[in-house]
């Protein structure tokens, strides 16, 4: 049986497999079996025939396909995967390993075709037992073609760290610094691994972001510009001076309004200049300007709060206190990104009625909820049994009448 994978006569080999299937996994004196040897040689027909004859072999050696990946036998791997693509993906997740961690192909086209294999794209971010992703492995193995193929995938995640707290994007930045070929590859796909952003990812649609920020910054600039000429308390009819100009709260209003206008205009200027740079530099420029936009928003809130305070406080202190509390809450949300999430999570946990929402059982089954699947299946069996019982009773009644 050990010689069957090497046969060129597929019909004869198929006959042997069907006649003596018990010898497929039998090991020789070197500890090798015909099943393992097939992945070293790569006869896809043998693997397909064996799996059709003995499906149990699929789970008996769940990682035997690694040899095919290391030897570049893609057809042999496909024969193994096509037997049960979903179960193969589950095996990879269970054993924390994937073909992308081991595959070795000679060119970019080969890798692009390889990723078209069923369920292969589901494994591009899978971490092995050491937390290493296929992208980590490709960069460390200096496999330029596999790295480029993975980087062009929409769902690839660069920032996953392994057990040594090293991310793939960090390894890529080092490789680009040491090797001009890698640097050119990154430029070709529009990626600069040296750039570190806080608010946006590398694949962010710059046009959509720029348009959105333009609208927000322009609105803030309009509000603050208008507030600068419609001062709270009004003007002196003779001199034109602000009536409340000597009050500290009014002065805080003026300063915060001026700062809000300054930062919002600065954001607009930076967004305008970002159109003159390449994608990487534009992303950095837009990302850094988010700090100015947050400052503009906070200063606008402060200007509104102090403007209302200086006018309302003498007449209705309780209303002014309420407004100050509300505006302070908004400022806290703007400063701390986790504040709103923690607050909403607290509200959700403190209100049990929010947890008791109606659940769509069909939707739960679509999402793979195990309990709902079992429940509906058991109900289906009960309904089927009841239907059969009713049909039998009806039939017996008809026979009795006859």
Task: List for the chain the helix, strand, coil content (%; round to 5).
Answer: 70, 0, 30
Tell me if 156 sits within 8 A of 162, measured CB to CB: no
Report pLDDT digits (tens) over 134-157.
Answer: 999 999 999 999 999 999 998 888
d(CA 52, CA 83): 8
Q: What is the pLDDT of residue 370?
A: 44
Helices (H) and strands (E) in the chain, counts: 20, 0
Do 118 and 87 form a contact (C-beta atoms < 8 A)? no
Check residue 241 and report its DSSP letter. Answer: -
Contacts by 334-338, CB closer than 8 A, 24 or more apart? 334/294, 334/297, 334/298, 334/301, 335/294, 335/298
Q: In this predicted structure, what is the pLDDT of residue 185? A: 92
At residue 45, the pLDDT reads 77
Q: Where are the domains of the chain?
A: 1-83, 106-194, 206-352, 361-396
pLDDT digits (tens, 9 = 90+) for 325-343: 888 888 877 777 777 778 7
Considering only CA atoms, which of 174, 171, 183, 272 is closest in space to residue 221? 272
Q: What is the per-residue pLDDT for 11?
A: 75
Contact predicate 40/75, CB 8 Å = no
What does the pLDDT read at residue 336?
74
The low-confidence residues of the chain, meaning pLDDT below 50, are: 358-359, 361-370, 372-373, 376-377, 381, 384, 389, 391, 395, 398-402
Q: Rounded to the nearest 10 degrees, how much is the dihedral formed by the CA atoms of 367, 370, 376, 377?
A: 120
Q: What does the DSSP 8-state code read for residue 123?
A: G
Query: pTM of the prediction?
Result: 0.61
Query: Under a CB-based contact definition with an 8 Å cutoff, are residues 128 and 96 in contact?
Result: yes
The C-alpha torsion from 199 through 201 and 207 to 213, rounded to 10°, is -10
CATH code linked to domain 106-194: 1.25.40.20
Max Cα-Cα span within the chain: 112
Distance, in Å, from the CA atom of 194 to the CA atom of 177, rounded to the nearest integer, reads 9
């Amino acid at each position: 049986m050990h010689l069957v994978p090497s046969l060129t006569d597929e019909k004869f080999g198929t006959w042997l497999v069907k006649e003596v299937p018990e010898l497929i996994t039998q090991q020789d004196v070197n500890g090798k079996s015909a099943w393992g040897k097939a992945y070293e040689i790569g006869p896809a027909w043998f693997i397909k025939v064996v799996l059709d004859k003995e499906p149990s072999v699929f789970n008996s050696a769940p990682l035997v396909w690694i040899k095919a990946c290391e030897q570049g036998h893609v057809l042999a791997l496909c024969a193994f995967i096509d037997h049960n693509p979903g179960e193969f993906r589950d095996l990879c997740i269970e054993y924390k390993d994937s073909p992308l961690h081991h595959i070795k192909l000679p060119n970019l086209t080969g890798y692009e075709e390889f990723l078209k294999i069923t369920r292969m794209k589901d494994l591009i971010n899978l971490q092995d037992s050491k937390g290493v992703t296929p992208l980590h492995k490709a960069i460390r193995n200096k496999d330029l073609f596999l790295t480029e193929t993975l980087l062009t995938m929409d769902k690839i995640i660069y920032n996953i760290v392994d057990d040594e707290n090293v991310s793939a994007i960090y390894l890529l930045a080092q490789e680009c610094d040491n090797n001009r070929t890698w640097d050119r590859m990154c430029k070709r796909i529009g990626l600069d691994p040296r750039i570190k952003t806080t608010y946006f990812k590398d694949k962010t649609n710059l046009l959509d972001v720029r348009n959105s920020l333009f609208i927000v910054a322009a609105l803030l600039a309009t509000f603050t510009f208008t507030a600068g000429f419609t001062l709270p308390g009004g003007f002196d009819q003779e001199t034109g001076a602000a009536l409340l100009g000597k009050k500290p709260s009014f002065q805080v209003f003026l300063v915060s309004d001026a700062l809000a206008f300054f930062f919002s205009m600065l954001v607009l200027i930076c967004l305008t200049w970002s159109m003159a740079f390449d994608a990487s530099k534009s992303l950095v420029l837009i990302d850094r300007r988010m700090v100015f936009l947050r400052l503009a928003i906070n200063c606008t809130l402060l200007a509104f709060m102090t403007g209302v305070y200086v006018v309302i406080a003498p007449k209705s202190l309780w209303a002014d206190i309420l407004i100050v509390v509300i505006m302070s809450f908004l400022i806290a949300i703007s400063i701390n990104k986790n504040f709103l999430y923690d607050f909403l999570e607290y509200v959700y946990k403190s209100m049990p009625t929010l947890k008791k929402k109606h659940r769509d059982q069909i939707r739960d089954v679509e999402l793979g909820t195990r309990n709902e699947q079992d429940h509906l299946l058991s109900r289906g069996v009960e309904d089927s049994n009841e239907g059969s019982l009713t049909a039998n009773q009806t039939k017996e009644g008809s026979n009795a009448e006859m």
